[in-house]
Amino acid sequence: MNSRLAARFGFILAAALSLPLATHAADATGSTATEYVKDSVITTKIKAELAEEKLSSLVKINVDTDKKGAVTLSGSAASQAAIDRAVAIAHGVKGVTSVRNHIKVVVDK
């Protein structure tokens, strides 16, 4: 029974000691937790609005937001109109400061 208790204590201690390392690794860019959450919220809102459009080509678009609210769109879409719509959606999300468009038109065969 003592060996089980010692093993559990050792596991808990190891987990507690590695927590600061995980936090440091997640913060390698110098972002604070608040900035990270803000960026994630912007990215999630854009992705949700792209999904609401129900255009299959908009699903192939990747969204990345930096800590200043600058959004980068990449991936592919079926037409320039779909790309323009994705850019407009991104511009319309609160907190977005700029949008960089790297989406390419790719026609499915």
Q: Please tell me the least confidently modeled range out of 34-38, 47-51, 63-67, 69-73.
A: 34-38
| Mean pLDDT value across the chain | 75
pLDDT band (50, 70, 90) for residue 65:
very high
The model's confidence at residue 103, banded by pLDDT at 50, 70 and 90, is very high
Predicted local distance difference test score (pLDDT) of residue 54: 75
Residue that wins the pLDDT comparison between 58 and 80: 80
Instruction: Give the CATH fold of the 32-109 domain.
Output: Histidine-containing Protein; Chain: A; (3.30.1340)
Are 78 and 57 contacting, i.e. CB atoms less than 8 angstroms apart? yes
| 39 or 58, greater pLDDT | 39
Q: Which residues contact 27 (CB under 8 A, 6 or more apart)?
A: 33
Q: What is the DSSP string of 22-69?
A: HHHHHTTT---HHHHHHHHHHHHHHHHHHHHTT-GGGGGEEEEE-TTS
Per DSSP bridges, beta strands 98-105 and 61-65 are: unpaired
Q: How far apart are CA 37 and CA 40, in angstroms?
A: 5
pTM for the full predicted model: 0.64
Q: What pLDDT is recorded for position 30?
A: 53
